[in-house]
A and B are shown apart, each in its own frame.
Chain A
Amino acid sequence: DTAVSQTPKYLVTQMGNDKSIKCEQNLGHDTMYWYKQDSKKFLKIMFSYNNKELIINETVPNRFSPKSPDKAHLNLHINSLELGDSAVYFCASSQMGEQFFGPGTRLTVL
């Protein structure tokens, strides 16, 4: 059984479009995260939600809006996509200790 899943795995889109990435965890964890890994392979936290409440927002542009309909889901909606948004986006979840990461969504903005 997949612990943290993301859809889609690949996303290719044009500049200016709006897109969403979905994340689901079946571990019963309270906290979920979004990380971004850019072309230079730096992994950086974007958001963290705890029990559906936004806890961390690491100076991410307003075009990025996370939404947590319930504890098991944390979706990422991106408006007006820009070239610089091209990256791999990882979702993760944790309870208190280690974080479990999803397989990533590779977003390419043309």
Chain B
Amino acid sequence: DAKTTQPPSMDCAEGRAANLPCNHSTISGNEYVYWYRQIHSQGPQYIIHGLKNNETNEMASLIITEDRKSSTLILPHATLRDTAVYYCIARGNAGGTSYGKLTFGQGTILTVHP
């Protein structure tokens, strides 16, 4: 799985959009970009994933650059409950030899303040 690089920490004001960047310059063509978050003392929670196109769900939006070397997770209206560590992971198809294992980096600690 390709290495990903994220800023160690970010701040965001409540109600504003949180934009979390991720670099994955060595990502291969069949690797997806996954985002998970871990709220203090809880298990990681899936947020969103994408391959080439931008994706949106009820939690967030994922913007992937055309060359796929970087992406941005957008939380459109951050709340205090969004304070967590956010992990960007490049992962091959679950049907491959990796069988979908997730390789977590250090992630970005997002702090949403009032």
Point out the residue from B44, B100, B102 that lies within 8 Å of A96, measured CB to CB.
Answer: B100
Q: How far is the CA of A63 from the CA of B51 in the complex (A)?
A: 38
Residues of chain B from 64 to 111 with CB closer than 8 A to chain A in the complex: 85, 87, 93-95, 98-104, 106
Closest to B38 in A: A43
Q: Nearest Cβ in chain B — how far from A57, in angstroms?
A: 11
Point out the residue from B41, B42, B85, B100 that lies within 8 Å of A94, measured CB to CB.
Answer: B100
Whether A45 and B46, one on each chain, are in contact in the complex, defined by CB atoms closer than 8 angstroms, is no
Interface of B is mostly: loop
Closest to A88 in B: B41
Q: How many chain A residues touch the partner (CB < 8 A)?
A: 27
Whether B49 and A45, one on each chain, are in contact in the complex, defined by CB atoms closer than 8 angstroms, is no
Interface string of B21-42 (1 = CB under 8 A from A): 0000000000000100010011
Whether A43 and B99, one on each chain, are in contact in the complex, defined by CB atoms closer than 8 angstroms, is no
Stretch of A12-20, A66-74, A79-87, A98-106 that contacts chain B: A98-106
Whether B49 and A56, one on each chain, are in contact in the complex, defined by CB atoms closer than 8 angstroms, is no
Q: Nearest Cβ in chain B — how far from A76, in angstroms?
A: 15
Q: How many chain B residues touch the partner (CB < 8 A)?
A: 22
Residues of A within 8 A of B98 (CB): 56
Whether A45 and B43, one on each chain, are in contact in the complex, defined by CB atoms closer than 8 angstroms, is no
Residues of A within 8 A of B103 (CB): 45
Residues of B within 8 A of A96 (CB): 93-95, 100
Q: Nearest Cβ in chain A — how far from B17, in angstroms?
A: 23
Point out residues on B near A: beta carbons under 8 Å.
34, 38, 41-46, 49, 85, 87, 93-95, 98-104, 106
6 A–B contact pairs at CB < 8 A? A31-B100, A43-B44, A96-B95, A97-B49, A99-B46, A102-B43
